[in-house]
């Protein structure tokens, strides 16, 4: 996710230490790669999931993570991540939600069923990440929805600390109106992003570098700042938005773990 790379470059050792301390509960066991899983996201067991609840001191990042911005909706079974303004005088402009999978995962098939958030400067996401906070170079694979135009999705990757060119892809529908199935297939020699079983983009090791390090899975929502003006736009101070997540799954290479796409309708 764009922020983590920008944060490390802009904030330096002191902020990296602050973030590392904040993430300590999620780091435990980080060197052990987790197996496949299927989750409707309606029971975030603390042994498997970590709900972020901290503020990063870097003033250029406008969102503070809070458990209060993550909750389940019994009406439709969605896990909701919200973005809302803080009170006047707070050291962050927004309160946002973020959830991460505790155990890192590696090559295999990743799926999410979600409805993206809408709004100028609002970013909602599904991505994998590892980096200096976990004692690794920066590797990352992204689905990022920019709320200013939810008929498209931004896909991106980092390899060994190097940000590779992202792409802004047409979806053929508005991702903020209904849930859709988004997936990426991560192989040692290729990476493929798809929506509702339809391939959006495929890159191969013959063309570009492919991430190789195990990574943690994240979902989050946050508000863009001046540094993201040309990408996401800047979120207005009164911005409010929600992203809704219904299912997440990971199937390692060679496994037969249940997937979100096995549910009726997908």
Buried b (16+ CB within 10 A) or exposed e, 170-208: ebeeebbeebbbbbbbbeeeebbbbbeeeebeebeeeee
Mean pLDDT of the chain: 89
Strand pairing of 152-159 and 167-170?
Answer: antiparallel
Whole-model pTM: value is: 0.89
Residues 82, 86, 87, 88: what is their CA dihedral angle, to the nearest 10 degrees?
A: -150
Neighbours of 99 (CB within 10 A): 21
pLDDT tens-digit series, residues 182-230:
999 999 999 999 999 999 999 999 999 999 999 999 999 999 999 999 9
Residue 32 pLDDT level (bands cut at 50, 70, 90)? low
Rounded Cα gap, residues 204 and 199, in angstroms: 14
State the DSSP code for 130. E
Q: What share of the chain is helix, strand, coil (3-state, %, to 5)?
A: 15, 40, 45
Neighbours of 22 (CB within 10 A): 17
Q: Range of 123's domain?
A: 2-262
pLDDT higher than 50, residue 49: yes
The total domain count for the chain is 1
* pLDDT(162) > 70: yes
pLDDT tier for residue 1 given thresholds of 50, 70 and 90? low
Rounded to whole angstroms, the Cα distance separating 73 from 81 reads 11
* Whether residue 140 lies in the annotated active site: no
Catalytic residue among 98, 111, 144, 226: 144
| Cβ atoms of 109 and 250 closer than 8 Å | yes
Better-scored residue on pLDDT, 163 or 251: 251
Tell me the CATH number at 167: 2.60.120.200
71 vs 17, more confident = 71
- Mean pLDDT is highest, among 90-94, 104-108, 261-265, for 104-108
- pLDDT of 29 strictly over 90: no
Residue 78: predicted pLDDT: 96
Q: Give 134-196 as a DSSP string.
A: GTS--EEEEEEEETT-TTEEEEEEEETTEEPPPEEEE-SS-TTTS-EEEEEEEETTEEEEEET
The predicted model gives 57-67 an average pLDDT of 93
* SS3 state of residue 66: coil
The token duo for 57 is 């001191």
Tokens of 121: 């400067």
Confidence class of residue 69 from pLDDT cuts 50, 70 and 90? very high
Cα distances (angstroms) measured from residue 36 to each of 48, 111, 152, 259: 12, 11, 29, 9
Average pLDDT over residues 44-71: 94
Question: Is residue 11 over pLDDT 70?
Answer: no
Distance (Å) of CA 146 to CA 171, 190, 232, 261: 13, 25, 6, 24
């Amino acid at each position: 996710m764009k922020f983590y790379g920008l944060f490390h470059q802009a904030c330096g050792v002191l902020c990296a230490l602050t973030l590392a301390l904040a993430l300590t509960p999620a780091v435990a066991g980080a060197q052990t790669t987790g197996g496949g899983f299927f989750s409707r996201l309606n029971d975030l067991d603390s042994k498997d999931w970590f709900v972020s609840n901290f503020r990063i001191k870097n003033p250029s990042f406008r969102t503070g993570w809070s458990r209060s911005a993550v909750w389940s909706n019994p009406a439709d079974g969605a896990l909701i991540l919200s973005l809302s303004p803080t009170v006047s005088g707070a050291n962050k402009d927004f309160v946002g939600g973020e959830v991460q999978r505790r155990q890192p995962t590696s090559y295999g098939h990743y799926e999410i069923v979600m409805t993206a958030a809408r709004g100028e400067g609002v970013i909602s996401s599904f991505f994998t990440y590892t980096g200096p906070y976990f004692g690794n170079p920066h590797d990352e694979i992204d689905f990022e929805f920019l709320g200013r135009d939810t008929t498209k999705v931004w896909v991106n990757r980092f390899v060994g600390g190097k940000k590779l060119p992202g792409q802004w892809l047409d979806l053929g529908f508005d991702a903020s109106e209904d849930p859709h199935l988004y997936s990426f297939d991560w192989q040692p020699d290729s990476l493929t992003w798809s929506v509702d079983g339809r391939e959006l983009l495929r890159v191969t090791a013959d063309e570009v570098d492919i991430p190789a390090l195990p990574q943690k899975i994240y979902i989050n929502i946050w508000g863009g700042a001046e540094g993201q003006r040309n990408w996401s736009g800047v979120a207005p101070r009164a911005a409010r938005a929600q992203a809704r997540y219904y299912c997440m799954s990971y199937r390692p290479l060679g496994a037969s773990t249940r997937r979100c796409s096995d549910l009726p309708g997908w």
